[in-house]
Structure 1
Amino acid sequence: LVLAGLSRGRQREEAHLRSVAETDALTGISNRFALFAREQARLRDPQRAPFALLHMDLDHFKEINDRYGHSVGDAALIAFADVCRGVVRHASDTLARIGGDEFVIVLHELQDPGTEAAAVADRIRTLLQEPLDLLGHKLALKVSVGVAVAHGPVELEAFLHQADVALLDAKKDRGSRHTLFERNLHGNLIHELEEALGAG
């Protein structure tokens, strides 16, 4: 009985440590470590395809931090995580904060991944149209979203890169939109960067 009690105590402690290691301390959602721990194997499974990945970045977040302070910036991140929690459709989907003001949603159980991912992105942007009360400041958050779609097995690192390329395109001009990754996007962005460097 004593050994069984010790074993249960150790299991609880290990579960607690694992939860701490896989949880973003600020928002309470999964962190980058948890994203890779959960999704790396699942995205390699052809039986689970298709998939969609949304890479989201708050527009002008640095300005919020600079103008209102880091406490309001943190409140904005918490509020955004709560909005995303509300649009995650299935327990099989994963929501994670992967750093700074960057968030990821991996969508599973899809019929039409491009359309369904776009609908999730639109839903998030619609919910953010109402100003949020962030520690006494009424602020309307805006978000840019890069979307990548896979119809078969995919490596998570490559999937994130595709969504990141789409996100860079979504943030052009004034941002606050979503872009679906296409093969020519990467070349277009490199060309634009080379032109900008040449002009400079």
Structure 2
Amino acid sequence: MGVTEYILHRSPINSALYRYMTRLGVVMDYVAFIMIISLTGGTKSPLQPISYLILLHASLYWSFTGAMVATYMVLIGYIGVVFVVDGGFMAADLPRHLFNFAFTVMIGVIGGIIVARERKHFVEKGIFENLAKKDYLTGLYNHRSFQEQIRETITQRKHFTLVMCDIDYFKKINDRYGHQVGDAVLIAIGHLLETVIPEDQGRAFRYGGEEFTIILFTPDRQPAIALLQRFIAELKKLEFGSDDDKFGVSMSFGATVRKKDQKSEELVAAADMLLYAAKEQGRDRVVWG
């Protein structure tokens, strides 16, 4: 169990090794348990309660069904130890065996129910937290998440790149084609931002309306410029509207690298001024500061 927990602790939660060990770990614990009680007095072993930990372990990683399977296997193993080590069921030991059987089943059922219920609550909590942090339309993280992320990034990094951007003439798109088409534009741009910007290099947010922000985890302009150029190139390929009235969109960008000791409000204000400058210069461009 200790080996299993160590490997799980050291492995990324989404890795294949993590998923593999959550399944194999319970089996390893079960085999170790049978060997231990066989060597320490059979069913009279003081280590018999380890079986309850195995059931809880199975409940945690295998859910309720797994806990029931584990309970069945523990009982089978217990019976095997009775015959191989204890020499069979003796009349004097029947009350103890019945108690162990009943308590094992109780731990398996109750443990499975409790863990299954808590897991359901945990999943629901995660869903609600995700809804609170993400924009319902684009799927990007929202303004609130941006404020949290920029504070966290400032704590972790002295220098990084902040980009403020918005869709050029978005109001005209809504006025001419309708809000459904406008929403389709926002959704497409949100998807494109997630596609172009790898998670380990940055994160995009819907700041509000047609405005987006991007935090790039790089203190150098060149990697940031390359990512923005790639995004702009892919953006120019997008088409919206009907077959006989197609149109494309462009975006304006204000980008700046955080200076040492620059606060989040100052950084956002600086990037916002650069975005305004991009619009003043004719839109469809990146202005660096």
Distance of 1:131 and 1:8 partners within structure 2: 41
Distance of 2:167 and 2:118 partners within structure 1: 44
Mapping of 1:21-60 within 5 angstroms? 21-45=132-156, 48-60=157-169
1:10/1:90 CA distance change after superposition, 3 Å: closer
Structure 1: gaps (5+ residues) = 182-200
**Aligned residue for 2:200?**
91
Aligned-partner residue type, residue 18 of structure 1: E
Q: Could you say what secondary structure the match of 2:204 adopts?
A: strand
**Aligned residue for 1:174?**
282
1:39/1:128 CA distance change after superposition, 3 Å: same
Aligned-partner residue type, residue 286 of structure 2: H
Distance of 1:8 and 1:154 partners within structure 2: 42
Distance of 2:222 and 2:230 partners within structure 1: 12
Mapping of 1:50-199 within 5 angstroms? 50-108=159-217, 110=218, 112=220, 114-134=221-241, 136=243, 137-181=245-289
Q: Which of the pair is proportionally richer in strand?
A: 1
Q: Which of the pair is proportionally richer in helix?
A: 2
Deviation at 1:151, TM superposition (A): 4.6
Deviation at 1:159, TM superposition (A): 1.7
Q: 2:128 aligns with which of 8, 11, 17?
A: 17
Identity, % of aligned positions: 30
Q: Could you say what secondary structure the match of 2:207 adopts?
A: strand
Number of equivalenced pairs: 177
Distance of 1:119 and 1:92 partners within structure 2: 12
Aligned-partner residue type, residue 236 of structure 2: Q
Distance of 2:173 and 2:249 partners within structure 1: 10
What CA deviation, in whole Å up to 9, does each residue of 1:96-150 have, x standing for no partner? 1010000111001x252x2222222222222222241346552211100000111
Q: Could you say what secondary structure the match of 1:30 adopts?
A: coil
**Aligned residue for 1:3?**
114
Q: Contact 2:185–2:240 at 8 Å: present in 1 too?
A: no
Distance of 1:122 and 1:134 partners within structure 2: 25
Q: Contact 1:75–1:134 at 8 Å: present in 2 too?
A: no
Normalized against structure 1, the TM-score is what?
A: 0.80
Structure 2: gaps (5+ residues) = 1-110
Deviation at 1:4, TM superposition (A): 2.6
Q: Could you say what secondary structure the match of 1:28 adopts?
A: coil
Q: Contact 1:145–1:178 at 8 Å: present in 2 too?
A: yes
Aligned-partner residue type, residue 124 of structure 2: E
Distance of 1:59 and 1:133 partners within structure 2: 14
1:131/1:8 CA distance change after superposition, 3 Å: closer
- Which structure has the larger Rg? 2
Q: Contact 1:57–1:103 at 8 Å: present in 2 too?
A: yes
What is the RMSD computed on CA atoms of the aligned residues?
1.9
Q: Contact 1:39–1:156 at 8 Å: present in 2 too?
A: yes
**Aligned residue for 1:194?**
none
Normalized against structure 2, the TM-score is what?
A: 0.57
Q: Could you say what secondary structure the match of 1:43 adopts?
A: helix
